[in-house]
Amino acid sequence: MCMNQLLDKCKICPRNCLVNRNKGQLGVCRAGNKIKIAKAYLHMWEEPPITGKKGSGTIFFSNCNLRCLYCQNYYISEEGNGVEIDIQRFSDVCLDLQEKGATNINLVTPTHYIPLIIEGLKLAKSRGLCIPIVYNSSGYETVDTIKMLDGIIDVYLPDFKYYSNELAIKYSLCKDYFKYATESIKEMVRQKPKCIFDKDGNIISGVIVRHLIIPKKEDDSKKILKYLYDEYKNKIYISIMNQYTPVRDCKYSELNETVSDLVYNDVIDYAWNIGIRHAFIQDGKTQSDSFIPKWDFK
């Protein structure tokens, strides 16, 4: 089957919209049948083994299948701003980033374009793309879709946003986040059971799970950390993030706040006390819109 045919009755993600994107029908993600990107550049603010010395070759995809109320990239994820490109142009973008010295190709929020991305990556690899491919997603995936990526993706970088489905419904209108996130992460670890780094300390294979602490919801964060440690011990790395930044007024008051140093340090102490050793933590001022890319469509 041609990858594009998977868009005829789309069930790429757990939303299972079953719309025909090849005939202009739109599902929850609002994506069509062409790749749409908002920016591609050398990004310096990822975890150190992903950023490397010259930056991660980061491609930000427009639209999103999760559409969280608090998304700092809502201009592209919810409003869908960006530029449509074909498979050939996508492969060109990947090769251009490699030529500029990118540590890897970092696919940000790619889920809804996976059939098209697979074709584009295969083309790029046939033309000389040889740096690692990073799959940087919301964690809201189906196992079948992740299995499609086996042998194509080198590093999985999923979010694990919610332990509580009540929070997932409240903030992302998603009643089954925990089920799909845990199942898909398990498949990612099956494919990449060990984190491997090159001589410069850059990750070339493995799984790093990100968790962004939401204001006033640190108890949920601790449940996520406990689950990940109980399930995987230190086979994976966990990135514990305090950079939650309100970018627009939300109807829930806690989403208009930030995470205090006191709360963040408490979560970090909890992670250490339960045994987590393979982790990334943030210091300095991270709660700023300076970490949000300028959406110039370049």
pLDDT tens, residue order, the chain (298 aa): 578 899 999 999 999 999 999 999 999 999 999 999 999 999 999 999 999 999 999 999 999 999 999 999 999 999 999 999 999 999 999 999 999 999 999 999 999 999 999 999 999 999 999 999 999 999 999 999 999 999 999 999 999 999 999 999 999 999 999 999 999 999 999 999 999 999 999 999 999 999 999 999 999 999 999 999 999 999 999 999 999 999 899 999 999 999 999 999 999 999 999 999 999 999 866 655 555 777 787 7
| 12 occurs within a structural domain | no
Enclosing domain of residue 225:
35-291
Domain assignment present for residue 41? The answer is yes
**What is the separation, in whole angstroms, between the first and last Cα of the chain?**
33
Contact 264, 8 (CB under 8 A): no
Entry pTM: 0.96
The pLDDT of residue 294 is 74
Q: Report angle CA 159, 163, 164 to the nearest 5 degrees.
A: 130
CB of 87 closer than 8 Å to CB of 35 = yes
The pair of structure tokens assigned to 3 is 């990858």
Confirm whether 27 is domain-assigned.
Answer: no
Q: What is the CATH number of the domain that holds 121?
A: 3.20.20.70
Q: How far is CA 118 from CA 2, 127, 257, in A?
A: 11, 14, 39
Residue 298 is predicted with a pLDDT of 77
Within a domain: residue 26?
no
Count: domains in the chain: 1
pLDDT given at position 1:
56
- DSSP state, 233? T
Asked if residue 268 belongs to a domain, the reply is yes
- Distances from the Cα of 86 to the Cαs of 3, 35, 93, in angstroms? 14, 7, 11
Distance in angstroms (rounded) separating the CA atoms of residues 289 and 282: 16
For residue 24, is it within any domain?
no
User: In this structure, are residues 141 and 111 in contact, taking their beta carbons and an 8 Å threshold?
Assistant: yes
Owner of token pair 């919810």: 78
- Cα 24 to Cα 9, 29, 61: the distances in Å are 12, 13, 19
